[in-house]
Structure 1
C-alpha cells in the first residue's frame, strides 16, 4: 500500500512506512529524519551525483549500491551523466531539494555517498559538466584495537599540518568507526587533491610509523590509523555529512567541534543517533556551515 505525501510542492508516493529498517526504527522515521535535517544536509550533497546504499529489507538483511538512477525516477528529480567504466556513462540522481531526500529514503537508501566535486549549476555555462574538486577528504580508519580515540589524536596533528599549508579542516564522524576531515579547496587540477592528500598521509606515517599507516595493505593496519587519501579520486565517494549509516542501530555521520575531538577519551563519546543529531543542530546549527568561504589553494 502506497501513501501520497507532499513535500515543498512535490507529490511523492511512499510505501511500507511501518517496515523496520533498523530494530525499532521504521522507514517512516528514516524519511522523517531526512526531511527534518534537509536544511543542513542538502548543502553537502547539492550539485553532487549521489550514490545510494540501500537496505530494502532492513539492516539485518543484505544491502546493495545503486549508482544509476532508475528509469522511473520522478520527472522533477535532477539527474546528470557521469563517466563510467568503459564508454557507457551512468545517470546519477542529484539531491538538490527535500523531496529528493524523501525519494531516496523511500528506496531504503539509508546511506548517501557523494564525490568531492560538483556539477556546474543549472542555467550556467557549466551545467551538467563535472567541475574540479572543491573538497579534500581524509578518512581516518582505525585498525582494531585502535578506535576513534586514536583517530582523534591523528586528526589533531593533521589539522596542524593543514593549517601550516594555509588550509582549514573541519571534522565529522564517519558514523561507523572512524573520523573524516573535510578541507575546502579552490578548484584546480582534477588530480591535485589526491596527490596532496597522499603526500600528507605519507608524511604523517613517516612521523609516527607506530600510529599511522598510509598504504592500502590491510595487514599493516591493526593498532594503527589508516589515513585514507584515496577518496579524493574523482571517481570515488564519501558518506555525506548527516547521512545515516547502515549499522545494527541508526547512527549518523555527524559534524563535531575540534574541542570534542580533543576531549575524546572513549569511543562512545563520538557516536550519535538521529535524535542526538536533531538536538545538536538545534543547539549549534550546521558545524560545517560556511566551508566554501574557507576554501584556499593547495600549496
Structure 2
C-alpha cells in the first residue's frame, strides 16, 4: 500500500490489486499516542502477511470504533455498510460474516472502523464441529497481572504437553495472555470439555492462584482461565489484531523464553511498531499454529 497523503479526506489506493478508497487519514484514533488512521492502516497493510493466515477461512467479527477507543464502539458480526462487493463472505444471507482472506480485505475493514478482529476456532469449510484450535484466555483479576499469567501459562504448557498438545503463547494485547494449541478437528463440545477440565486441574493444583468460575467477585488476585472461548459461538481476538485500549496494544505472538523471562507486565506489551519490528526480525512466531504436523488429538 502506498504511503497515504496526509491531506485529503478520501484517497484512492491500490491494495493487492484492489482499488480501496481510504478516508479521513489524518484522524487521530489513539490520542494517548497520537496514532493516526493512516498509521494504523499502514500497520495492517504491513502485518497482513503474517496475520491473514490466522484469520482466513474463519468467519470474522469486529469491534468497530470509527472514532477510536474513547468513542462509540460495538461488536459487529455482519459486514458493515460500505463493504465492497469483492470482499469474501460466508454464512449465507441470514448471517453473513466477512472472511479476511487478503491484505485488501483487512485494510478495507480497518478503514471502515473495524479495528479489532475476532475469529472462532473453526473454519467455515469445516463448520462449527470442526474446531482445529484450542484456546485458553488467561485473564488477570484486580491485584494480579501479566507476570502471574506467565507463571500459570508455563504450568499449563507442561500439562498440555503431557496430553500431547503443543501450546503457543500470544499476548492478548490487553492485560492477559492467550494460549493456543493446534488440533486434529474436534467438536466444539469436546474441545470446550477438555479446556474446562484442564483449567479445573490447574485450579486444583493452585486454588489460591487460578479460577475457573466466571463469577467476577471471585477474580481479585487470581488468574481466570476462560475456557469458554472454545464454544462454537464464541470468538477470540485474532493474533496480530490491534486492541482498542488507551494505547494501541496488539495481540502479539511471543516465545516461551520471553514468557519465562517476564518479570514485569511491561516486558510483554507491544504496540504496532514493535510488532512490525518483531515480524521483520523473527517472522511469524505463531506459524506452527497452522502447521498440520503440529496438530494434536484431544486425550
Q: Confirm or deny a common fold (TM above 0.5).
A: yes
The 5 A counterparts of 1:207-218 are 207-218=205-216
Q: Which residue of 2 aligns with 1:261?
A: 259
1:175 matches 2:193: no
The answer to whether the Cα contact below 8 Å between 2:188 and 2:230 also exists between their aligned partners in 1 is no
Aligned ranges 1:49-128 → 2 under 5 Å: 49-70=59-80, 72-81=82-91, 89-120=94-125
Aligned residues: 287
- 1:280 maps to 278
Shift of 1:89: 3.4
Residue aligned with 2:178, SS: strand
Pairwise CA distance, 1:131: 5.6
Tell me if the contact between 1:21 and 1:108 (Cα under 8 Å) persists in the aligned partners: no
Q: Match for 1:202 among 200, 204, 217? A: 200
**Residue segments in structure 2 that go unaligned for 5+ positions in a row:** 1-8
Which residue number in structure 2 is paired with residue 295 of structure 1? 295
Deviations 1:232-259 (A, max 9, x none): 0010000011000001011111000000
TM normalised by structure 1 equals 0.93
TM-score normalised to structure 2 length: 0.93
2:164 match: 166
State which of 220, 235, 238 in structure 1 corresponds to 2:236.
Answer: 238
Where structure 1 has 5 or more consecutive residues not aligned to the other structure, the ranges are: 83-87, 121-125
Structure 1 residue ranges, 4+ long, deviating more than 4 angstroms after superposition: none
In 1, distance between residues paired with 2:10 and 2:98?
A: 22
CA distance in 2 between partners of 1:53 and 1:221 (Å) = 25
Cα offsets for 1:202-229 (capped at 9, x unmatched) = 1111110000000010111100000000
- Whether the 8 Å CA contact 1:18–1:26 is kept in 2: the answer is yes
Tell me if structure 1 keeps the 8 A contact 2:12–2:19.
Answer: yes
Q: Is the 8 A contact 2:192 2:230 kept in 1?
A: yes
